[in-house]
Amino acid sequence: MQASRSRRVVLGLNIGKNAVTPIDSALDDYLIGLRRVYPLLLDRPGYVAVNISSPNTKDLRSLQGGAG
């Protein structure tokens, strides 16, 4: 039996906005990141964490507010 079939490793990926991207364009960065990592999760268990709380990225925490 191959090792890849006997044990499945969960792949955890983290995506975030680039520091140089304006906060108004943050969604574009997240979509690009998600599109790039999604193929890695097609044949294995995993998850994507969306980072909206980096103190080193200007205004990033403003994305934490709910709609309305």
Which of 15, 21, 14, 13 shows the shortest CA–CA distance to 59? 21
* Active-site annotation holder among 4, 25, 53, 54: 54
Tell me the residue type at 26. A
Q: Mean per-residue pLDDT for 25-32? A: 94
The residue that leads in pLDDT, 5 or 36, is 36
Which of 25-29, 32-36, 60-64 bottoms out in mean pLDDT, i.e. has the lowest? 60-64
Distance CA(48)–CA(11), nearest Å, equals 9
pLDDT tens digits, one per residue of 37-65: 999 999 999 999 999 888 888 888 888 87
Whether 54 is catalytic: yes
Distance CA(60)–CA(44), nearest Å, equals 30
